[in-house]
Amino acid sequence: MTSTASERRAFAHKINRTVAAEVRKQVSRDYGSPQLSKKRGGAHHSLPLTEVVEPVDFEDYVSSHAPGVELGPLRQLMEFPQDDLELLQLEKECSTLEPPLPEEEDSLDPRVRDALAVYTDDWLVIQRKYQRYSTTYTPQNSERQRERQRGLVKQTFELDEAAAAERQDDQDDAKRRSVGLDETPRGSWASSIFDLKNSSADALLPSVLERTAAEDMDRRNTESRLQGRHSDLLGLYPPPDEDEAVERCSLPEVPKEHCGQRIMVKCLSLKFEIEIEPIFGTLALYDVKEKKKISENFYFDLNSDTMKGLLKPHTPHVAISTLARSAIFSITYPSADIFLVIKLEKVLQQGDIGECCEPYMVMKESDSSKHKEKLEKLRLQAEQSCSRLGRFRMPFAWTAIHLLNIVSSVGGLDRSDPDSDSERKGHGTWNERKKKGFERMSIGDDMCNFATFRPATLTVTNFFKQEGDRLSDEDLYKFLADMRRPSSVLRRLRPVTAQLKIDISPAPDSPHYCLSPELLHVKPYPDPRVRPTKEVLEFPARHVYTPHTTYRNLLYVYPQSLNFSSRQGSVRNITVKVQFMAGEDPSQALPVIFGKSSSAEFMKEAYTPVIYHNKSPEFYEEMKMKIPANLTDNHHLLFTFYHISCQPKQNTPLETPVGYTWIPLMQHGRLRTGSFSLPVSVEKPPPSYSVLTPDVQLPGMKWVDNHKGVFNVEVTAASSVHTQDPHLDKFFTLVYVLEEYSFPFRLKDVIITEANMEGELKASMAALRGALLDTCIRFLHQLLSKLIQLIVYPPVIAGQIVNLGRAAFEAMALLVNQIHKNLEGNQDQHGRNNLLASFIHYAFRLPTAEPPVPPTAGTQSYDMPMQYATLSRATARPSSLHLSRSKSISNSNPDLASTPVSPDEEVQRIIGSKYLQSIFSPPLLSCPPCFCALCICFLLSFTSR
């Protein structure tokens, strides 16, 4: 049956007759509009397929729906507490009695000034006063809550009583059904009357029959409810499940200096078969597997007062810090390949090492009567040598102790336990929250727990004679590896008979009378007159990812070898004198070299041991120095080579200089460290030599072996001021040049001026991706603070405000990404990195004062207006700068036409700019959670201005 439009039923007119093509066309045309069309009409009119919900403006809604003035007694539950947040300053804990500060207090170098500000400022913490009432605070008190619940009386509620009564009634019914009524007298009517008459009457309740006001009744009920009520009713609830869907953010650890497992070594006595001269000892830790020395040297002196008296003319003043006989070593990476190496030295005398060791290998204490005359002769020679050559040393003997034997209670050394009945000293396990790379050890390494082992007293009886041509560290590693083999070659050598008694034990948590590596008194230090214990600085075998938190500025110099085979003349008994010079005059030698045992605390010069009749000696000496806070281009290390006349001759000086060379320490704003192969000059250097390297061919100078590198030396630094990374050094140097406005500045082959400063600084921030991660983490607080400062306060160069926000933001994102990718084991349960979380919680400080802007030439000084800066633009130009309109604020953002007049206008530009499209690209959308925390800090810094 055919039907027309007029014959259609009513519901058919409402059916949507729009075809799919028209729907797609309508959607594509209206997509992106605030709201689709809402027209209603015939079948051919556009229909509302969906409605776009406009987001609520939270700030506008809150301001327009402010809570009323009178909301009753529960108004505080609806409003956020006004006094919840408070800013607190937590005092930094200092482990030493004296703060670790440089001696120079005035006119400090900018890098030192910023480092001291980071290391000395108190922690800045935002505390929430009402945090203890939140759900996330419960796990911290869960254990205390369980303790409180154990002493509570079990509560019985009406529901429990009803259930118990029902169970009792069921039991009574069962009993009644099993026993007939005729078998009990209580089943009769007469017995029930008898029990009723004999029962005692209940107490009367007159209050039920009296008339009582409603107010009095409420008061009585309130008093009754308060009787026997627990004060902490909510505390009766069981603690919440730890796995519930509540994010619990534990407080990050307070930043502190890294410390590994610590062992204490006490040198008790050193005895030889014959006692004719003073002997000096040195301790150090070596890792054979890594082929690295993992601690600095510790010097000890166990000589008798008689032997010490032989050197009295050369050491008129002996500091108490050099009398230490016990040391505390730190081991970050316990390994089965760590050895405690002991080296012995003696006063220089005529003859090679073999000749000097022969009396100690041949003569015995029991045969002293047979060799009485020979002993007297040897003592006389020793006295003459000490009187004339007391400043110089020569190698004598060495030995090593395998620390694994101490931990595993096995070994071939004579061993005695001073307290066999005592329990093991337990100091807990090592920090298991370090980077996962810390735990990459072999199965043998797992046995090496130097924090908990039984103290042992060792008597070392076998020492090996030093070989004059095998004194380098490479030879030492071969000897140590050979000691672990059953058929050791060293066992076939003739030993030097001696008895060194030492005690090795886990170090206590807070030892008394301890000195830091900088010779500062570590708390507690009750009496400064007591013989101290020294903390030995560790050189970890691998990287340690911990930021610096204290000031440290130490330099280590290691002379390695010298080749004077082509040097003409009597040059055989060679020593190297090392000086830290502040200028070129001999009087400008600084007393910054740490003294050894039984000497002054600091000295102006140090000498290497002498190898008798050797024109190409090898050295193993370590020279420790304090780096001055203000280093200039004139500071340098001066090496002077001397020939020592061991046999006194008429008209022959004791020391004859035979060569000179030097290392400029500060060059292009960097501390120079590393391995050097230096040419040696035969004559004294000319004036102004300190600003040049010895590689420069100076006119009129004679060089050994045609200006070839004949002296090898290594310089390292343990510094929390100098990064020793070229990328970080360049970035910090450019920032300090900009802050001090010290233009022009020469940086290697580039002259930094106002014209190229912006490009160089951006390039340095982009080059931070090439910096070593462990170095970036060591200087994490300074690096992040500088990047944040560049974002918040754009610098002014040549009268123009330069926007460096994008480059700084990208450098920060790259750094945070690298930290999260490489330190996965240092994250909490929410994926937040502990290093970044501790920086945000404790060390982050919003820049509140804009750095001073030096006036340009011919322009009066001006004051910068206080205005916020963002990633997309710089702050407004000062009114005193008369710049043309066509001139942009900065060439770092060419798309910027003018400065926004309001934050709303700026937000609109940011949303529509292509810049944020590149910033929030898909790789950054998956950034770690801690990076979001950093972004929050940045947003707070923007809005606070």
CATH for 553-719 is: 2.60.40.150
pLDDT for 912 equals 44
Give me 506's structure tokens.
Answer: 């886990």
Band (pLDDT 50/70/90 cuts) for residue 145 is low
Among 378, 331, 392, which residue's Cα sits nearest to residue 596?
Answer: 392
| Separation between Cα atoms, residue 24 and residue 28, nearest integer Å | 6
pLDDT for 11 equals 54
pLDDT for 455 equals 93
In this structure, which amino acid lies at residue 531?
A: R
% of the chain at pLDDT higher than 70: 70
Among 632, 652, 636, which residue's Cα sits nearest to residue 644?
Answer: 652
Determine which of 67-71, 522-526, 856-860 has the lowest per-residue pLDDT on average. Answer: 856-860
Return the higher-pLDDT residue of 885 and 375: 375
pLDDT for 51 equals 65
pLDDT of residue 541 exceeding 60, the answer is: yes
Among 441, 466, 435, 474, which residue's Cα sits nearest to residue 292?
Answer: 474
For 75, half-sphere exposure in the C-beta direction (CA atoms, 13 angstrom radius) is 9
pLDDT digits (tens, 9 = 90+) for 673-727: 999 999 999 999 998 899 999 999 888 889 999 999 999 999 999 999 999 999 9
**Structure pTM?**
0.75
Query: DSSP assignment, residue 603?
Result: E
The residue assigned the tokens 């944040």 is 788
Which residues, in sequence order, are CB contacts of 793 under 8 Å at separation 6+? 847, 850, 851, 869
Determine which of 77-86, 219-228, 607-616 has the lowest per-residue pLDDT on average. Answer: 77-86
Determine which of 69-78, 332-341, 819-828, 833-842 has the lowest per-residue pLDDT on average. Answer: 69-78
pLDDT for 175 equals 54
Determine which of 113-117, 205-209, 566-570, 575-579 has the lowest per-residue pLDDT on average. Answer: 205-209
Determine which of 235-249, 602-616, 719-733, 789-803 has the lowest per-residue pLDDT on average. Answer: 235-249
Region 163-186 average pLDDT: 57
pLDDT of residue 444 exceeding 70, the answer is: no
pLDDT for 149 equals 63
Map out the domains of the chain as residue ranges.
261-429+438-535, 553-719, 742-943
State the DSSP H helix or E strand holding residue 692, giving kind and residue range, or none if neither.
none
Using a 10 angstrom Cβ sphere, with 0-12 exposed, 13-18 middle and 19 or more buried, the burial of residue 499 is middle
Report whether 275 contacts 307 (CB < 8 A).
yes
CB atoms within 10 A of CB 116: 20
| Separation between Cα atoms, residue 347 and residue 361, nearest integer Å | 18
Determine which of 365-369, 635-639, 862-866 has the lowest per-residue pLDDT on average. Answer: 862-866
| Separation between Cα atoms, residue 23 and residue 266, nearest integer Å | 89
CB atoms within 10 A of CB 837: 23
Omega cis (within 30) before 547: no
Region 25-40 average pLDDT: 50
Report whether 252 contacts 833 (CB < 8 A).
no
pLDDT for 660 equals 96
pLDDT for 230 equals 67
| Separation between Cα atoms, residue 126 and residue 249, nearest integer Å | 14
- Strands, E, within 749-874: which ranges? 750-752, 796-797, 800-801
Region 292-298 average pLDDT: 97
Region 453-476 average pLDDT: 91
State the DSSP H helix or E strand holding residue 481, giving kind and residue range, or none if neither.
helix 473-483
pLDDT digits (tens, 9 = 90+) for 400-422: 999 998 888 644 344 443 333 33
pLDDT digits (tens, 9 = 90+) for 1-31: 444 445 556 555 555 555 566 766 665 555 4
Indicate the SS3 state at residue 750. strand
pLDDT digits (tens, 9 = 90+) for 735-752: 998 888 888 888 888 888
| Separation between Cα atoms, residue 252 and residue 402, nearest integer Å | 38
Q: 261-429+438-535 with 553-719: one CATH topology?
A: yes
Band (pLDDT 50/70/90 cuts) for residue 41 is very low
Omega cis (within 30) before 628: no
pLDDT for 447 equals 62
pLDDT for 303 equals 95
CB atoms within 10 A of CB 284: 21
pLDDT of residue 215 exceeding 70, the answer is: yes
End-to-end CA distance of the chain: 79
Region 434-452 average pLDDT: 55
CA 639 to chain centre: 34
Query: DSSP assignment, residue 713?
Result: E
For 942, half-sphere exposure in the C-beta direction (CA atoms, 13 angstrom radius) is 18
In this structure, which amino acid lies at residue 333?
A: Y
pLDDT of residue 451 exceeding 50, the answer is: yes
pLDDT for 939 equals 38
pLDDT digits (tens, 9 = 90+) for 324-370: 999 999 999 999 999 999 999 999 999 899 899 999 988 876 676 77
Region 589-602 average pLDDT: 96
Report whether 331 contacts 260 (CB < 8 A).
yes
Return the higher-pLDDT residue of 865 and 609: 609
| Separation between Cα atoms, residue 869 and residue 942, nearest integer Å | 6
Region 643-670 average pLDDT: 90
pLDDT digits (tens, 9 = 90+) for 551-591: 999 999 999 999 998 887 778 899 999 999 999 999 999 99
Region 602-623 average pLDDT: 95
Among 446, 457, 474, which residue's Cα sits nearest to residue 286?
Answer: 474
Among 584, 733, 632, 672, which residue's Cα sits nearest to residue 104?
Answer: 632
pLDDT digits (tens, 9 = 90+) for 869-917: 443 333 333 333 333 333 333 444 434 444 444 444 544 444 344 333 3
| Residue 507 φ/ψ, nearest 5 degrees | -75, 140
The winner for highest mean pLDDT among 189-203, 303-317, 543-557 is 543-557
Question: 279 forms bridges with which residues in the sheet?
Answer: 346
- Helix ranges (H only) for 660-749 are 726-740
b/e burial code for range 191-221 (CB count within 10 A of at least 16 → b): eeeeeeeeeeeeeeeeeeeeeeeeeeeeeee
From 3.30.360.10, 2.60.40.730, 1.10.3720.10, 2.60.40.150, which CATH number describes the 261-429+438-535 domain? 2.60.40.150
% of the chain at pLDDT higher than 90: 45
For residue 547, give Cα distances in angstroms to 115, 146, 670, 723, 843: 12, 38, 20, 12, 11
Return the higher-pLDDT residue of 69 and 350: 350
Among 590, 623, 598, which residue's Cα sits nearest to residue 609?
Answer: 623
Beta strand 674-678 with 711-719: parallel, antiparallel or unpaired?
antiparallel
For residue 858, give Cα distances in angstroms to 522, 798, 881, 882: 54, 11, 12, 13
Return the higher-pLDDT residue of 914 and 186: 186
